[in-house]
Amino acid sequence: MKDIVSIMGSAHTNVKHDSAIKHVTGQADYTDDITLPEGALHAYLGVSNIAHAKLLDIDFSEVLSTPGVVGVLTADDVPGVNDISPTHLNDEPVFPTDAIQFHGQPLFAVVAETRDIARRAAELAKIDYETLPHALDPIAAQEAGYPHVTPPLKLERGNVAPAQAAAPNRIKGRMSVGGQDHMYLEGHIAFAVPGEDDDVVVHCSTQHPSEAQHMVAHVLGVPSNAVVVNVRRMGGGFGGKESQMNLFCAVAAMAAKKWNRAVKIRPDRDQDMTATGKRHDFVIDYDVAFDDNGRIQAVEGSFAARCGFSADLSGPVTDRALFHADNAYFYPNVRLNSHPMKTNTVSNTAFRGFGGPQGVIAAERMIEEIAYATGQDPLDVRKANFYGTEDRNITPYHQEVEDSILDRLVGELEETSEYRQRRQDIIAFNKTSPILKKGITLTPVKFGISFTATWYNQAGALVHVYNDGSIHLNHGGTEMGQGLNTKVAQVVAEAFQVDFNRIKITKTTTEKVPNTSATAASSGTDLNGMAALNAVEQIKSRLVEFAAEKWNVAPADVVFHANQVHIGEEILPFDAFIKQAYLARVQLSAAGFYKTPKIYWDRAKGQGRPFYYYAYGASCSEVTIDTLTGEYRVDRTDVLHDVGRSLNPVLDKGQVEGAFIQGMGWLTTEELWWDDAGRLRTHAPSTYKIPLASDRPRIFNVNLADWSENRELTIKRSKAVGEPPFMLGISVFEALSMAVASVADYRECPRLDAPATPERVLMAVSRLQEGR
Amino acid sequence: MTYRTDIQFVLNGRDVSVPNVSADQTLLDFLRLERRLTGTKEGCAEGDCGACTVLVGRLGDAGLTYVPVNACIRFLASVDGCHVVTVEHLSGPDGRLHPVQQAMIDHHGSQCGFCTPGFVMALYALWMQTPEPSEAQVETALQGNLCRCTGYEPIIRAAVAVSRYGTPASDHLNTERDAMTARLAALKDGRRVVSGPKDSLSILPSSVDDLAECLQAYPNATIVAGATDVGLWVTKFLRNIGPAIFTGHLEDLKTVKRQGSLLLIGAGASYTDCQDLLSEHLPHLSSYWDRIAGWQVRNMGTVGGNIANGSPIGDTPPVLIALGAEITLRRGTECRTLPLNEFFIDYGKQDRQPDEFVASIQVPLPGPNDLDAAYKISKRRDEDISSVAVGIHMTIEEGTISNARIAFGGMAATPKRASAAEAALNGRPWSRESFEAAALALPQDFSPLTDWRASSDYRMLTAQNLLRRFFLENDAQTDTPVQLAYA
C-alpha cells in the first residue's frame, strides 16, 4: 500500500508551470503591473541621433520648461562611478560625458510626473556635437583600424600548416552570420523606491539581480548592502536582460535618490531595441583541409564579431563562439582566433547560445563545403567527423569529450525521420519540379554546459519550513518563462517527500540569496536545483537527528515518504512532525550552496575543462523554396534532443520547441538592418520579423532522448536545456541551402549568408543559375 | 445642436462614462493606467504583437458582434457605444476558468506568460466564431500574436482542443447577449460626440452627412477610421492628431455589397467586413486578403484608410487598381469619382482636399475572359508589410492579350501601374515570350528603392518573376506547382 502512495509534483513528472493560471487570467504581475507608490515619477531616455561624434553640449532649456517635467539626469548626476560595464572594464558609462558612440545611445534621462510627459520632453533637448567617422560592421572596423573591445582568444591544437599542406583538398570561404534581437515580449523596465539612509529597492526585470544590485551600488557610490533588487518574473529574457537592465536600474535608482520619490523607467519598444544589445553578428573566415573521404585534417578559423561600442559580455561571447566552432566534429589540427571588434553600434550582449550558435554554424558550413566538394550526402560527412569516444575526442580547447551520445542519437533520428529515403525522394522531386525545389538536412548539436567564467558556477538557495509544515523556497535563479521555479520546487518536493503545492515559490531578491550568478548559460536548474537540494538536505539531516533521538530509532529508520514521516513503526503526517520539531527547537531554515565540480579554464593557454558536460541533440528539416521569389516553407522537422533524465519532460519539450523556432527565426526572417548613418531600421515587430505560428514546420515531431542520463552528478541526472536546442534551427538553414544547390545540380555550395531571407535565397538561386 | 461630451461604453460588466477624452488617448493606456486592468499588456504599441488584444463588441446592422482588436493603437474615443472585454472578464461570474484558459493551461501554452492574455483573447474570439477550428484557421487567427517562448506548438494544440472544454453557447457573452444588446442600444443616442481638450478634440459624427459637416467645420482634422496607421502616429511619432474625426461607428460608411457588375465597398468597411464578399466574387483575393496584417488589424483597418493614407506599400491599392477600381470622394454634399490610380499623385500626396473624404470604392467584376491575380512578397509570410505586391488583370481572347492592367506596390513612391510591361503584353499572344518581354520592360517602369524590407535588385527581379509566375500559373502547359501552398 505504502509503495503506491506518492507525492504530487515530484521530480521527473510533468508538473505545469507554477504560474500557468496566473498567466492565462492576466493575474501574473510583471514589473509594469506593480502598483506605484504615491507620488511616483517616470523617467525616459533621451538618445543620440548620430553614430559617432564628440558630444559638445546638451541644451535642456525646453525640456525643463515643459510642464510636468521634474528634471533631467546626465553624467553629472552620477553620485558614484559612471560605469555599468559588467566586466568592470569601465568602458560603458550610464550616460557619456564627451563621446557619442552609437546611433540611439542614451545620453540623458528626463524625469517627469508621467511617462508621456517625460517621453515627449526627451525629444526637446538640443544636442550639440561634432561628427566623427563611424564603422558599423566588423570588417569596416578592421579596415578603419578599430580596436578589439576585449582581448581576443586563440585556441590551437596539433600542427595546422603541415596538415594543410598534406591534405588533398582545401577550401577557404567567408560566411556572414547576422545578429538577432531578443524580442522578449516584455521590454526593459525598472522601478526604484528610495528608502532611508542610502537604501533603495529596485523592482525590475533582470536575469541577473546581483549584478544589477552591484551596479546600482557602484553608480550610487554606496555599499551593495544598501541596494535590494527584486524580480518576480520576466516576460522573456533570452540573455537580453542579463546585463542590459543595469542601465535602467541605475537610472531609476539615481532618480529615486535624487528626488526622493519612486521612479519608474520603461522605454518603448523602439528604444528598447535600439538602445540595448543583441546577438553578435559575425564574419567568419574558414579554411578547411580534408581527405577524399571528407574527413577533416585541419581547420583554421577567424571569427570577427560586431561587438558594438563597449565590451559588455563580448569577451565570453566570442570565446564561446570558438568553443563551439567544432560543434560535434573532431579537428585533428586546428587554430581558431576571435576578433571582438569595436563598432559604432549598440553594444552586443548575451543571447541564448551566447556565441555558440555562431560557432556551430561555421562548423556546419565547412561540412557543407566538404559534402558538395566530395559529392557526398552531408550526413555521411558529419558522421565521418563526429567525435569518437575512445580516440579522436579532444576539443580545440583540449577538453576530452567523454560523454558523446551522438552516434546513437543521430542514428535514431535518421531512422525515425526516414532521412535517407526522403533525401532520395527529394532529389527525384527536384528533377521534375522546375520552380519549387526541396531540401532536407539532418544537423547535430553538441553544447558545452557551464559558465566559462568558472566563478559563476555557484549558486545559493534559502529554504524555510514554517511550523505549520508549509515551505518557502527561494533561490538565486530568475524565472523568465523557462519553468525554473517549477523545476526547483519539484526537487524540493521530492526531497521532502511533500506535495508540490505545499511549496511557495517566491520572488528572486538579493535580500535572501546574495552574490548570485545570472540565470544564463542554461545553468539555472543545474545550479539552483542543487543549491536548493543542499538546503533541504541540511534541514532534513537536523530533522532526522531529532527524530532518531526522540523516538529512539536509528537515523536510517527515519524516512520521508509521501507527505509523511516514517519513524520506525510510527507514521506522522509531515506537518505534525514539523510541529514537533519546532517545539523541540530544531532549526527549520537553511541556506543551501552549490558549486560545479571538475571545471577549470586557463584562457591564456587556451586549455582546460571549461564544461562540466555536454548536451546533445539533432534535428532533421525539410523545406521547399520558390525559385521565382525566394519564398519558402518548412515542410517538416523532426527533433531528438538530450536533456539527460528530464526533471519535467513537458517543460523541457517546451524549451526544445521554443528554442528551435527561435533558432530558425535567427537564420530565416530575423534581419537586423542598419542604414549607412548607423541607424537601426528594423527596430520593432513591424520591421523585425520573428516567427509566427504559421512559420512553424508543417509537421513538427519533437522528442526527448528518454534513454539519456547525465553521466555527471547533476541534479537528478538531468541536463541543461535552455540553449542547446536553439542550434537545432540550423537544420532549416542547411535545408534551404540544399534546395538552392539543386538549381546547379548540387555541384556547388551555395554559401548562403544568414539570415536566409527570401531575398538571400532568391539571390543565391540566381547566382547559381547564372554560374556566378 | 448640443453635443455629447463624454465617451460611453460598457467595460467588462460595467457602464463607463469618460469625460474629456482627448483624441490621442489609447484604449490600452486607459485600461492599464486608469482602470488598473493590467492583464492587457503593452508589447509593441504598434499593433504587431497582440499582447494588448481585447474584444470589442459593436452593435451594428448585423447585431452584436465581437472582434479581437489591438488596444494599443485603438483610441478610447472609438469605443463609444461598444462593449470592451478584457482578459479579466473571461472567467465569468462563477470565477471558473474559461475553456480557452483551461485548454491553454493543460497544453502548457504559456511560458513567460506575457503574451498569454493576448493569445487567450484572440483564441476566445476564434472559439466564439469557429468552435472547432482547423490548424490553418488557428494560424490565421493568430497572425497578430507573437510568442517568443513556446514556438507556438502548445498554443496551437490548446486552440484546437478548446471545444472539448466548453461550447460558446454557454459562454457568458452569449448568454448575456440580449441584455448587452439592449445596453448598447441604449447608448446609441444619435448625437454627435465632441470630447477632449481644445487642442486635441475627439469628434464622433452622428452620421455620414454629419461627417461631411464636421470636416467642413474642421478641415484640418485627422480622419480616423481603423486607426491602424494613425494609431502609430501617436504611439510612435508622438504626433498631435487633434482634432480627430472618428468614423468607425458610421454604419452607412461600412456598406459592402454587389451592385450589378460592381462591388461597392464603403470606405469605413474593415478588411474583415469585406472578406466574404471579396472571396465570393474575386476568389483570387481570398488568400491575399488573409495576408494583410493580422486578424486584429484586419478587424480594425479599412480599405478606405489603406487607400486614403497614400502609402506606396499598402496591400490593397495595387490589386484594386489592377481590377480597374474607382473611388468616390465626398466634400460637403458633393461627390466625385475617379479611377483609383489617379488618386495617387506622388509620395505622401493624394488627390484629396482637406475637407474631403473617401466615401466608397467601386470595383468592377472581371468578365469571363479575364484573368486576375494578386501576389504579395514579404520577408515573413504573414503579418508583414510587402516588399513587392502586385495586382494583375488582363483579358485573353482567342489567345491574344488585351486590357492588361498591372499595378505594383513597393516599386515606386506610389502604388503604380507598369505601363511598359502592360504595353509589352497588349495585343500580343498568350505566350512565354510575351511575358518575358513584359518582364524585361519592367525596368522602364520602375527604379525601386533599397531599404530594410528588400534591396532594389531583389524587388526588380521578384517583380519580373511574378509576371513569369502569372504566366506559368495560368498556362495550360504547366504541370507542376509554381507557388507554395500553405494550408
Q: How far is A530 from chain B (nearest CA, A)?
A: 23
Burial class (CB in 10 A: 0-12, 13-18, 19+), A692: buried
Q: How far is A140 from chain B (nearest CA, A)?
A: 20
Instruction: Using a CB–CB cutoff of 8 Å, tell me whether A92 touches chain B.
Output: no
- Phi and psi (nearest 5°) for A500? -50, -40
Output the pLDDT for position B470.
98
Q: Do B112 and A186 touch (CB under 8 A)?
A: yes
Residue B101, C-alpha cell as written in the block: 484558459
Give A-chain residues touching B140 at CB under 8 angstroms: 694
Q: What CATH number does the domain located at A282-452+602-769 have?
A: 3.30.365.10
Q: Which of A29, A482, A692 should be substituted to probe chain B, the one whose Cβ sees the most B Cβ atoms within 10 Å?
A: A692
Alpha-carbon torsion angle B455, B456, B461, B464, nearest 10:
130
Q: How far is A24 from chain B (nearest CA, A)?
A: 6
Output the pLDDT for position B135.
97
Nearest C-alpha in A relative to B91: A25
Mean of pLDDT values over A168-178: 98
Instruction: Using a CB–CB cutoff of 8 Å, tell me whether A22 touches chain B.
Output: yes
Q: Do A669 and B379 touch (CB under 8 A)?
A: yes
Output the pLDDT for position A290.
98
Q: Which of residues 182-201 of A touch B (CB under 8 A)?
A: 182-187
Output the pLDDT for position A4.
62
Choose the catalytic residue: A723, A748, A759, A770.
A723
Output the pLDDT for position A3.
53
Whether the CB-CB separation of B249 and B81 falls below 8 Å is answered with: yes
Give A-chain residues touching B96 at CB under 8 angstroms: none
Output the pLDDT for position B2.
84
Output the pLDDT for position A389.
87
Range scoring the smallest mean pLDDT among A5-9, A46-50, B208-212 = A5-9
* Cα separation values, A269 from A185, A713, B76, Å: 9, 42, 21
- Residues forming CATH 1.10.150.120 domain(s) in chain B: 99-170
Name the residue facing B377 among A186, A651, A758 (closest C-beta): A758
Q: How far is A38 from chain B (nearest CA, A)?
A: 14
Note whether A34-133+182-275 and A282-452+602-769 share their fold.
yes
B409: which strand partners?
A: B389
Give A-chain residues touching B156 at CB under 8 angstroms: 693, 696
Q: Do B149 and A763 touch (CB under 8 A)?
A: no
Give A704-745 pLDDT, tens digit per residue. 999 999 999 999 999 999 999 999 999 999 999 999 999 999
Q: How far apart are CA A372 and CA A381, in angstroms?
A: 10
Q: How far is B154 from chain A (nearest CA, A)?
A: 8
Mean of pLDDT values over A639-663: 98
Give B-chain residues touching A23 at CB under 8 angstroms: 104, 110, 113, 116-117
DSSP H helical ranges for A186-234: 209-220
Vertex A278 angle, CA A738 and A347, to 5°: 130
- Phi and psi (nearest 5°) for A144? -85, 0
Name the residue facing B377 among A28, A631, A692 (closest C-beta): A631
Q: Do A657 and B377 touch (CB under 8 A)?
A: no
Instruction: Tally C-beta pairs within 8 A across A and B.
Output: 263
Q: Do A686 and B377 touch (CB under 8 A)?
A: no
Instruction: Using a CB–CB cutoff of 8 Å, tell me whether A682 touches chain B.
Output: yes
Q: Which fold has domain B6-89+176-246?
A: Ubiquitin-like (UB roll) (3.10.20)
Give A348-369 pLDDT, tens digit per residue. 999 999 999 999 999 999 999 9
Q: Which of residues 311-370 of A touch B (CB under 8 A)?
A: none
Residue B17, C-alpha cell as written in the block: 462614462
Name the residue facing B377 among A483, A629, A766 (closest C-beta): A629
Q: How far is B330 from chain A (nearest CA, A)?
A: 32
Q: Which of residues 126-185 of A touch B (CB under 8 A)?
A: 182-185
Give A-chain residues touching B236 at CB under 8 angstroms: 268, 270, 684
State chain A's mean pLDDT as an integer.
97
Give B-chain residues touching A24 at CB under 8 angstroms: 97, 100-101, 104-105, 109-110, 113, 116-117, 120
Q: How far apart are CA A662 and CA B146, in angstroms?
A: 12
Q: How far apart are CA A54 and CA B7, in angstroms?
A: 50
Q: Do B139 and A694 touch (CB under 8 A)?
A: yes
Q: Do B382 and A23 touch (CB under 8 A)?
A: no
Q: How far is B48 from chain A (nearest CA, A)?
A: 6
Q: Is the pLDDT of residue A90 over 90?
A: yes
Right CATH for A2-28+458-595 from 3.30.70.20, 3.40.50.1820, 3.40.1670.10, 3.30.365.10: 3.30.365.10
Q: Do B44 and A27 touch (CB under 8 A)?
A: no
Q: How far apart are CA A281 and CA B395, in angstroms?
A: 50
Residue A741, C-alpha cell as written in the block: 544547390
Instruction: Using a CB–CB cutoff of 8 Å, tell me whether A232 touches chain B.
Output: no
Instruction: Using a CB–CB cutoff of 8 Å, tell me whether A472 touches chain B.
Output: no
Whether the CB-CB separation of B121 and B53 falls below 8 Å is answered with: yes
* Cα separation values, A113 from A68, A265, A486, A692, B169, Å: 5, 12, 39, 38, 47
Q: Is the pLDDT of residue A2 over 70?
A: no
Q: How far apart are CA B101 and CA B119, in angstroms?
A: 10
Mean of pLDDT values over A653-663: 98
Q: Which residues contact A530 (CB under 8 A, 6 or more apart)?
A: A459, A592, A594, A714, A715
- Residues forming CATH 3.30.465.10 domain(s) in chain B: 251-364
- Residues forming CATH 3.30.390.50 domain(s) in chain B: 380-474
Output the pLDDT for position B62.
87
Residue B311, C-alpha cell as written in the block: 502609402
Instruction: Using a CB–CB cutoff of 8 Å, tell me whether A538 touches chain B.
Output: no
Q: Is the pLDDT of residue A59 over 50?
A: yes
Nearest C-alpha in A relative to B478: A434
Q: Is the pLDDT of residue A540 over 50?
A: yes
Q: Do B466 and A759 touch (CB under 8 A)?
A: no
Q: Each residue's pLDDT tens digit in chain B (487 positions)?
A: 689 999 999 999 999 999 999 999 999 999 999 999 999 999 999 999 999 999 999 999 889 999 999 999 999 999 999 999 999 999 877 789 999 999 999 999 999 999 999 999 999 999 999 999 999 999 999 999 999 999 999 999 999 999 999 999 999 999 999 999 999 999 999 999 999 999 999 999 999 999 999 999 999 999 999 999 999 999 999 999 999 999 999 999 999 999 999 999 999 999 999 999 999 999 999 999 999 999 999 999 999 999 999 999 999 999 999 999 999 999 999 999 999 999 999 999 999 999 999 999 999 999 999 999 999 999 999 999 999 999 999 999 999 999 999 999 999 999 999 999 999 999 999 999 999 999 999 999 999 999 999 999 999 999 999 999 999 999 999 999 999 987 5
Name the residue facing B112 among A185, A660, A675 (closest C-beta): A185
Instruction: Using a CB–CB cutoff of 8 Å, tell me whether A66 touches chain B.
Output: no
Q: Do B45 and A20 touch (CB under 8 A)?
A: no
Residue A734 annotated to the active site: no
Nearest C-alpha in B relative to A16: B108
Nearest C-alpha in A relative to B31: A33
Q: How far apart are CA A15 and CA B129, in angstroms?
A: 32
Q: Which fold has domain B251-364?
A: 3.30.465
Name the residue facing B461 among A236, A659, A766 (closest C-beta): A766
Give A297-314 pLDDT, tens digit per residue. 999 999 999 999 999 999
Whether the CB-CB separation of B267 and B358 falls below 8 Å is answered with: yes
Right CATH for B380-474 from 3.40.50.300, 3.30.390.50, 3.30.70.1090, 1.10.287.130: 3.30.390.50
What class, spelled out in words, does domain B99-170 have in CATH?
mainly alpha
Instruction: Using a CB–CB cutoff of 8 Å, tell me whether A61 touches chain B.
Output: no
Q: What CATH number does the domain located at A34-133+182-275 have?
A: 3.30.365.10
Output the pLDDT for position A772.
67
Name the residue facing A689 among B100, B384, B454 (closest C-beta): B384
Q: Do A236 and B114 touch (CB under 8 A)?
A: yes
Give B-chain residues touching A695 at CB under 8 angstroms: 380-382
* Cα separation values, A602 from A302, A315, A318, A327, A517, Å: 21, 14, 16, 21, 20
Q: Do B146 and A690 touch (CB under 8 A)?
A: yes
Q: Do B152 and A696 touch (CB under 8 A)?
A: yes
Instruction: Using a CB–CB cutoff of 8 Å, tell me whether A649 touches chain B.
Output: no
Give A-chain residues touching B37 at CB under 8 angstroms: 26
Residue A643, C-alpha cell as written in the block: 536533456
Q: How many CB atoms lie within 10 A of CB A325?
A: 29
Q: Do A662 and B486 touch (CB under 8 A)?
A: no
